[in-house]
Structures are given as C-alpha cells and as structure tokens.
Amino acid sequence: MSQRQILRTRSGSRQQIRALLESLFTAELLSPSPRLFLVSPWIRDIELLDNRSGGFRGLEPSWGRRQLRLGEVLTTLVQRGSHLTLATRPEPENKDFVRRVNAPLSEADRARFVVRYPERLHAKGLVGRGYAITGSMNFTNNGVENLDEFLRYETDPQRVAELLTEFSAEYGGVA
C-alpha cells in the first residue's frame, strides 16, 4: 500500500492519527531520516509517545516512565544526525516551542536544525525518508486529538521525492 487516507471526525476513529504518529516517530528514532521536514502553522509540545510502561526505553535509555513530548523527540532526532527543517508561523507560542527544541542542542547539532517562519503559512506536513503525511492537521493537541482532520499518508517513492523537493525549495535546506 503506497497511500492511506484518514478522515477523523467525531463519529470516526479518534486514535488513528495518534497511532500513525507514534509509529512514524518510533521508526525515525530507530533509523533517523537524513532530511526531515515538519511544516505546521501552529505547533505545540504535544504528548507523542506513551512511555509510562517503559516500552520506549530501548530507544533512549534516559527517558523515564512518562509521556514523551514532540520537542524532546525532535531534539533527539537532530542529535542523532537528522537535518530537521521546521516551518511554522512567527507566533510567540511557536517560537517558545522552537526554543525548547533548540536549547539542549550543541552548536554542531544546531547547524542541522533549520527554522523558517513564513507569515502566510497554511501548508501542513511531515516528510521523511520514504514517507509523507499531508493534510489539514497542525501539530497541536487540537489537531491530533480534537478537531476533524483529513490526512494522507504516502509511501510511494516518486510522490515522497516530489514532496521532499517541494518542501526543500519552499522552506530551505537540501533535498
């Protein structure tokens, strides 16, 4: 299967998006994408991986038994060598999130973390090695948990390469 669509509404499954994000970020932690693009006009330090049972401890032994947040997962990916480009609007809350991701990074790591603040950003997506998520969802609690959202998950190599090239051209970095 090279494509999966998720339409989450009040009457639809509420866990499909969370399960997809958990799977993708677990795979990223196991084998980080060389280039990773996260585009979200609004972004918050959402709970991403449920480590209360210790199930993700093998991915990072220092993580305690607690909910792991998006910011610390992104920081870990950059520390493991991913070149992360984050595009978000220049809102104070988004800049706070960027500061939390950036704070623990070394100077060498910071060179692999590129942030863009397009004023009129409305596009949303996550593109890594071999996959892309596009659709209506911001990386916020409302986007992941509450609002009606439509997502497309794609693994077709040609389509993923096209999105990687488009995101790179629009938000910077190398494809």
**Number of other residues whose CB lies within 10 A of the CB of residue 58:** 10
121-125, 141-145, 150-154: segment of lowest average pLDDT? 141-145
At 117, give phi and psi (nearest 5°): -125, 70
43 in Cβ contact with 138 (< 8 Å): yes
Q: Which residue stretches of the chain are H helix?
A: 16-30, 70-79, 92-102, 107-110, 141, 157-171
Over its C-alpha atoms, the chain yields an Rg (Å, rounded) of 15
Question: Are the C-beta atoms of 40 and 88 separated by less than 8 Å?
Answer: yes
Contact indicator for 97, 141 with CB cutoff of 8 Å? no
Neighbours of 35 (CB within 10 A): 19
Give per-residue pLDDT as tens, 84-116.
Answer: 999 999 999 999 999 999 999 999 999 999 999
- Is 97 within 8 Å of 43 (Cβ atoms)? yes
CA atoms of 165 and 12, how far apart (whole Å)? 33
| CA atoms within a 13 Å half-sphere pointing along the CA-CB vector of 119 | 0
Instruction: Please tell me whether the overall predicted TM-score, pTM, comes out greater than 0.85 for this model.
Output: yes
CA distance 119 to 149: 23
Average confidence (pLDDT) over 150-163: 95
Specify the CATH number for the domain of residue 84: 3.30.870.10
In the chain, the number of structural domains is 1
Per the structure, the complete domain to which residue 34 belongs is given by: 3-171
Which residues, in sequence order, are CB contacts of 16 under 8 Å at separation 6+? 6, 8
Give residue-wise pLDDT tens across range 35-80.
Answer: 999 999 999 999 999 999 999 988 988 899 999 999 999 999 999 9
